[in-house]
Structures are given as structure tokens and as C-alpha cells.
A and B are shown apart, each in its own frame.
Chain A
């Protein structure tokens, strides 16, 4: 057993919080809230140390921690965690979003408080687990476990049709992941190990070789699980229900982190383990991604409900991420990862915004608003920034991600220029539906009496939104800092994919 690494510390902190909440008696709701917030802030602080200790010149895993967990005689399953350039921003995104989600719940969740915060911390624990796990068993465990707290969060604290949304979310995503389970088992049986780096090494050295068709089947088994999570068109139908019915914090977590588990899965597992299949399927996935971009934008435009609009816009944004990843070059993948983070921040911010509006008016219909700027100037100003960031205005974070992705897809060897052209169309559409929404809700005359005396942001809300604003500008203006961390890992991944694809072509 090696020394306990920082990754394990970050990973286990939320679990410590869970146990504290479960077993300490006589906690008041007030203590529960603050305790949870503090635990999540400590976790965030610890994850910042991850950044500090991260060596950007190393491509492989860092701060690794492993020990044998299950030894069946034939196969060893390990507790194996670590971060590299692909996962570090995902971990940071999780630890960044969680305190905000908790903060926004402070004044809005009054029922079954303790259960709520236990579930929040469980959720954080499981999500970090997904991003740091390097053993397929461990990964699958947390992949599935994330469903449980979200099921309860939607089902207990959600809106009117929460039960339907919760069960649909659970069954839909579970159906996909179980096929992945079989692929994992198959791969583990063949490789004699469930550890991802070892499997990749065996594949590269030729010790374990998959036939082209096997590789494709496995790609699909993993891919469907991830595609449902992303969600890619046409597997997206759980998303609007879950996002709209979930409580604000639930939507923020769903959009902010859960969806990234899907895109992360593609980068972490599908590309390095099945490079040939990735090349083969790249154009098809890109087609779906582009359809998703345009479809998501189109449907967003037609929504009357702000929350639904934001939900459908996620489909569009995640289409960009997928397009970038399957450009299969450095720019595309780096852009994809960063855009994942951006989407977490911007869309997370939009959901927070919608939540605050809903708290005041108990409706999310755009037609119920108009001229809000005059009643709530601070709120509206911040919203404008977030809306612009989501649209991809230069200088803000969304632009950097989308631009890099388009750069990647335009220069891609596997995708034709058509994809880039249609995706760029998506950016225009995004501007249309976002500005249309902003116009209806915030601009114009303040003509409805109910809206005239809406209070502006309180302290909690302000502190929830400020970190988002900071990140919007930080990524927008200092993108190279963020790309630096990914460089080595992504470069190695791309080399590896093109090398195996070359080898396959030469065969």
C-alpha cells in the first residue's frame, strides 16, 4: 500500500461529512446547512491543492493511490485513484459547483433538511469518485451510485412531475450503464485486470488485441452509456424532464457535473481503449453532435418556460463538446474538455438564476416577466454576463471553448468541413434564443404588478453568483492557464489514437 495521496483526501472528505451528518445527534437544521457548506468548501480547498501539486509536464496519472481491494484469485480489483490533465478540471469543476449548489439551497430547502444535505455530500463523493477512479470496477461503482442521490433529490424536492422525472432519469441512465457493465466484464476477463492504465498498456503492447469488430462492439457498449449521460441526440429525452423537475441545486449539479461524466467517459475510456473504433465512428458521432447542436438550439427557441429553455440549451452545448472530442486532435479534445467546464459554469449559473426568479414569483414562464431589469438591476446585470458567456461572447469563457472546438473540428483529419459549418450555425442560433429570452424576461416595460416589487439579490444569492462571474472572466481572459494543465495528457492521448489508427490502416 502506498501513502495516502491527496486525491484520496479530496475524494473522501465529502464522505466524512456524510458520516458526520448521519451519526451526530441533535443537529439543528442551521448547523446541518453550515456544516455541509463547510465540508464542501474544505473539499474545494483541498482540490485547489491538487492544482498546486499538479505537474503539467507529466502526461500520465499523478498523485496516484492504489491498493488491492478484491482479489478473486484470477483477477485483482484495485482501489486505484489519481488525476491527469483530462480529469483534473473535472474534479475541480465538481468541487467548485457543489458549494454553490449548497449555498443556493440554504434558503430554499426547508423540508427534511438533513436527508437533503446527506444526499448532496453523497452526490459530491460519488461524482469525484467517477472522475478519479482508474479501475473499471471502481469507476462503474461510482458511475451507478451517482444515480441514487439524484433520484432522491429529484423525487423528494422536485416540482410537480418529479416522480415521473426521477424514475425516468434513473431507468434511462441505468439501462445504458448496464450494457457498459457487460463490456467492462468482458474486457476485464480478457485482460486479466480491471485497471485502466494496465489495460491500455496491454492493448498498446499487443499483449491484448481486440479484433476490429470486437473493438467496435465494446466502443458501442461504453459509448451508449456515455451518450445517454451526455446526452446526445436522440438519447436526450430524459434530460428536459430531469432538469426541469429537479430542485435548483439538482439542476445545477445535473448540468454542471453529471453531464460531464458522459463526455469525460468518452475521453477517458473510449478513445484510448478503442482508438480504431473511435476513428470509425467519429463521423457518425459528429453527425449526431451537430444534429444535437441545432436541434437543442431550435427547441430552446420554442420554449415558454425559462428552465426548459436552459435545459434544451444544454443539449446544444454538449453537442459542441462531443464534436470537439471526436475531432480527435489536440485542439478539439482540449476545447471539448474546457467547454465541458464552461458549460458547467454558465449553465449552472443560468439554473441558479432561474431558481432565484422562481423563488420570488413561483413561476418559470417567460410571459410572466418583462422589464425585470428595472426591479432587480444587480440580478439582471449578473444574468446578462452569464447569458453572454453561454452564447460565447469573446472575452468570456464560452467563446474560448467553442472557438477551440471549431478550430479542432476544422483541422480534423476525420471530419469534413461541413461539421464545422453547421456547428458554427449553432452559435448563431444560441445567440438568437438566449437574447430572445433575455429580451422577454429582463428588457421592455415593467408592466406586471407582481413584478414591480421584486426584491433584488440577498447576500446568499450574491455570494452564490459571484464565484460564477469570477470564473466566467477568468477562463475567458486567461484560457492558456487552463489549457496548460491538459496539454501533455491530451497530446499523449492524441498520439496514441493516431498511432493505433495508423497501425490499423497499415495492417
Chain B
């Protein structure tokens, strides 16, 4: 308010001070978060980076750190019996699961966007994983699925088992595909549970994107006599493409930071053995890889996205 009471003749100074004031207000708005983030995010983050370069020992009452250079990193990569193996497994799993989740969720979103009876119910069911899949219940559920001691789960998984797919392929007269291909197909069939359960949010986002397609585009396509296939590739896909990037990044982050994946388990178990230095080094290597992957993907995909406003 003080800006108003100043002399109106000094127009330039007043403008400057208004700008400054606005920027001060900006700091005011984010101030609370800034304090919190320094205390609860940046300092711990820095500390964990520091631990990863140190020999950490636990004294009663405090942690003792002694600088050790890259020792932790070398020992984690070179000597730890599980870490590199788990790392490879997790990366490969994310590599083939992510595109599958994206394709699947886009497909389901297109289906759920159509008008039919019971659509609300179907949507409710498909979003159900959103509220369950982050919790401990899901850990137990997916444990059920994997453990063989559970008759229900076993029967369930045989429904989608390798044999069935193989039989189907033979029935269709497809013999000549390579082992790798049939491995992939059977992996998809076996993992349908995991894929369905981890694509709740993605379906939600794609559905939101689909409903943002202007009806004029749809009408134009209909007038021109576009088939459903053409409509999908020429209209739906370009409109949805920004969301593919968002969903892709979300899926990658989700699968990498999932507390159930084996690298995370290894890090946590190292922590429980009080090997803080090694655990921090593991976490930082992992985090570095994830960051690199996301940067590369965002850069590569960002070039192919169609933005309506541009």
C-alpha cells in the first residue's frame, strides 16, 4: 500500500518498487516451503551425499564420519554380491514394463472414454489400484501372487501362463518367431497383474487428456469420413502426446522409487545393517542413473510432442 502514497511524479521509481515488492511477495509465498525444504530435504540430502563418501560408524548418541573418498562407491559396484545384479534387473524390468504400461493405459483410457452402460462402474474399478497400490496391502497381495503356496493365486497365474500363450500361437500357426519374442509375449501375459495394477494414475491422466480433445476436431474427422484407426492416429494421438511424456516420466519415477523393487530393498537392508556409507553410495548411484534416464527420455521425446498452443 505504501507504493500508492508515494509521489506519483516519480513514475519509474514507483514501477521498480512495485516489481520489487511483487518479487518480495513471491518469496513470502514460498518462504514456508523454503524453510522446510532446507531443513527436511536439502540438509538431509547433502548429509546423505556426504555419508556416501565416508566411513560411517555408529557411536552411542552420534554418527562418526571419516572421509574415505570413493571407497564406498568402488566397494558397492565391485564387491557387493547383489547390488549390480539387482540394479540390472530393475533397469531391465523398467525398460520393458514402462512402454507396456503406457500402451495399456492409453488403450484402456480410449475404451473408458467411449459411451456405454456401466462406464462409471468400469472407471471406478480401473482407478481402484490408485488407492491401494502404494500401500502395504499391495505388498501382501502381490506376494500372494508370487508365492506358490497359495492355491488361488496359482490357479490365477496359470490362467495367463506361458503354455496358454504358446498353445494359442501354435493354434494360430505361428511357429517361426524367435525365442526372445515368445519370451517377451509370455512375460507380458505373466505380468498382466503387475501392469494392470500399476497403471491406475496413467489411465486417469490419459482419460483427462482424451476429454480435452475439442469436439470440433472430432466432428471434422467424422465429416471427412475418418475410420476409427485413422481417428486414433491423426487426432487422438497428437492431442494426447504431451501426456505421454508426463505419463512416461511418472511411470519411470514410480517404478524406480517403488519401495518394493529389489534395489530399494537392498538399500534398506544395508541401512538396517548400519552400513550407512555403503547404503548412501548405493542410493546415489541409483539416483544418478534414474536422473540420467529421465533427462535423456525427456529430451528425446520432447522433440516429437505436438503442442496445440505453439
Do A and B originate from a single complex?
no
